[in-house]
Amino acid sequence: MTHSAPSSTPISRTTPSPRLLRAGLASSFLLMLIALGVFALSLQAVQPPRAEGFIVNVTAGGCQPEQLEVPAGQRTFTIVNRSDRAIEWEIIDGVMVLAERENIAPGLRQPLTASLTPGDYIMTCGLLSNPRGTLHVAPNGDTSQPKALVARDFIGPLAEYRVYTLLQLRQLTSQVRALHDAIYADDLHTARAAYLEARRIDQRLATPIGLFSDLDQRMNAHADYFAQRESDPDFGGFPRVALSLFERGTTTDLKPTIDRLVEDVETLKTRLEDAAIPPAQLANGSARVLQAWHDRQVSQATLSPRDLFDLAGLTEGAGKIVSLLAPLLERQAPGTLPPLNDDLATLQQDLANANADNTSGSDDSRGNDASGGPLARVESDDGIDAKRLLQDSEALAKSLSAINRALALSG
């Protein structure tokens, strides 16, 4: 049987057009960019430690990244302000402020170091109305910390601080009510004097007040941290009262504000009566509020008398905490105590000197305050050289922030 040869059919090979080649290359390049973007975002979620620590960019709309994961222990964050407003950044546990950095100017960056235990925390991101970010702290098995004290070591200091806090709260309640009555009576002079007494106690209690971020913001947040600044409906507390009493010279617009402040102080009293202050928050909280005061004033060549008055209250509160922790430091880390005491004494002395300088020029025409009392000093227009007090406050804040590591405390 004869087989015929198979016929051969030519295979068609069509060369792609240049237009299709360009489209394919563009698609490949786009896919590569998308993949790189996803990879970069994944790197942001768990950033590797670097010289600047963990980078957090704060924009007009919030934090970038919005979610951050770090290992437990002492960690450094660098906060970069990429908005057009001065901002603050905080780490919050529930309602308790663990660490914060205030008054970061647009375009600048500031470091913040915090000792963190495993858990989930909140990050405030610039304006108080901005969405909050989340911070996850993962266990890392670090055993380099010194041996921790046991809970009973803190019973005495915490009990004494609780008594101090409750006594100060009674005074704060009384002075805020006196301020309320003076505002309702339209008595500017008495309202100013009552404000100063109440504000100084408020600053002495800055550490326990910081346990409750919602109350702290209502009572003490400055206008810069609100979207509409002084005109913002949520701007209140002591800064709003001071704006009217000392800058606008009036009591007439303060009734809603002082009613809310009275209510907030009562809420604070109730919460602190029921709350246990964590040992780690004694030194950490005091360091935080002193550093916040420093950051807010650092760009100023001079301080106002009210700035000085606030610092005096903060220093009194810090002095109480140092006195309570000194016996534990003497036992656990004696080398940390002399520089801490020196920094505290230096700030106290420079405050006394600044107050004396400010009093010496008091105008004898100021009625009941002709002797140079607190109201006469605050009503004066004299500026106070900021350099020494800024150095002193930052030095004490750094010494206080070293206590927790010395006592093996975190949180």
Do residues 284 and 269 both lie within one domain? Answer: no
If you average pLDDT over residues 221-249, what whole number do you get? 95
Cα–Cα distances (Å) from 120 to 42, 51, 136, 139, 303, in that order, read 19, 24, 5, 11, 38
Question: pLDDT digit string (tens) for 341-355?
Answer: 999 999 999 999 988
Does residue 13 belong to any structural domain of this protein? no
CB 77 within 8 A of CB 107: no
Do residues 205 and 268 both lie within one domain? Answer: yes
Q: What is the CATH number of the domain that holds 161?
A: 1.20.1420.20
Does residue 41 belong to any structural domain of this protein? no
Burial class (CB in 10 A: 0-12, 13-18, 19+), 199: buried
Give residues with Cβ within 8 angstroms of 232, minimum separation 6. Answer: 223, 226
Residue 100, classed as helix, strand or coil, is strand
Do residues 165 and 185 both lie within one domain? Answer: yes
Burial class (CB in 10 A: 0-12, 13-18, 19+), 76: middle
Of the two residues 130 and 383, the one the predictor is more confident about is 130
pLDDT of 290 reads: 96
Output the pTM of the full model.
0.75
If you average pLDDT over residues 211-225, what whole number do you get? 93
Could you give the CA distance from residue 407 to residue 331 in angstroms, rounded to a whole number? 10
Token reading at 131: 């969405």
Maximum average pLDDT range among 41-45, 152-156, 383-387, 407-411: 152-156
pLDDT of 96 reads: 81
Q: Is the pLDDT of residue 359 over 70?
A: no
Helices then strands (H, E): number in the chain? 13, 11
Of the two residues 372 and 390, the one the predictor is more confident about is 390
Q: Which residue, of 106, 138, 170, is where some domain finishes?
A: 138
Maximum average pLDDT range among 153-162, 172-181, 272-281, 384-393: 172-181
pLDDT of 67 reads: 94
Q: Is the pLDDT of residue 153 over 70?
A: yes
Could you give the CA distance from residue 2 to residue 28 in angstroms, rounded to a whole number? 55
Do residues 166 and 288 both lie within one domain? Answer: no
If you average pLDDT over residues 137-165, what whole number do you get? 80
If you average pLDDT over residues 291-313, what whole number do you get? 91
For every residue of 41-86, DSSP letters joined together read HHHHHTPPP-TT-EEEEEETTEEESSEEEEESEEEEEEEEE-SSS-
CB 209 within 8 A of CB 215: yes
The total number of structural domains in the chain stands at 3
pLDDT of 34 reads: 53
Could you give the CA distance from residue 253 to residue 361 in angstroms, rounded to a whole number? 32
pLDDT of 385 reads: 80
Maximum average pLDDT range among 113-127, 247-261, 359-373: 247-261
Instruction: Name which of 125, 122, 118, 146 is nearest 134 in CA terms.
Output: 122
Maximum average pLDDT range among 28-37, 169-178, 289-298: 169-178
Does residue 307 belong to any structural domain of this protein? yes
Does residue 33 belong to any structural domain of this protein? no
pLDDT of 29 reads: 58
Q: Is the pLDDT of residue 370 over 60?
A: no
Q: In what order do the strands lie in the sheet with 67-71?
A: 67-71, 133-138, 119-125, 87-93, 96-104
What's the domain range around 346?
278-354+383-411
CB 376 within 8 A of CB 116: no
Give start and end residues of each alpha helix (H) in 116-186: 155-184
pLDDT of 135 reads: 95
Give residues with Cβ within 8 angstroms of 248, minimum separation 6. Answer: none
Do residues 72 and 157 both lie within one domain? Answer: no
Do residues 194 and 226 both lie within one domain? Answer: yes
Could you give the CA distance from residue 311 to residue 291 in angstroms, rounded to a whole number? 11
Of the two residues 66 and 28, the one the predictor is more confident about is 66
